[in-house]
Amino acid sequence: LQHVTNNPDQGMKNYYKNEKIALDANYTKITSSEIQAFKNAGIPVNLWTVDDQGKVWDYIKMKADYITTNKRFW
């Protein structure tokens, strides 16, 4: 189960973790430190819709669990 949101809320980390819900966030609305905070809390992170290959590589390096894109990069 994933919560799709334009407004990722750090206050939801415990709820997501307890209910085993992943974060599915608009990548333009979340910072790298917020991504890391969710990851550190054990919450899977999906980012959408990332159509810039450079950004995709940045999120891969940040260990994003899922990246949704409209492009074929490989």
Dig out the tokens for 39 from the structure. Answer: 């990851």
Write out the two tokens for 3.
Answer: 């919560």
Residue-wise pLDDT for 15-53, tens only, equals 999 999 999 999 999 999 999 999 999 999 999 999 999
What's the confidence (pLDDT) of residue 73? 86
Phi/psi-derived region of residue 44, left when phi > 0, alpha when psi is between -120 and 50, beta in every other case:
beta
Asked if 50 and 27 touch (Cβ cutoff 8 Å), the reply is yes
Residue 74: pLDDT over 90: no
pLDDT single digits (tens) 61-73: 999 999 999 999 8
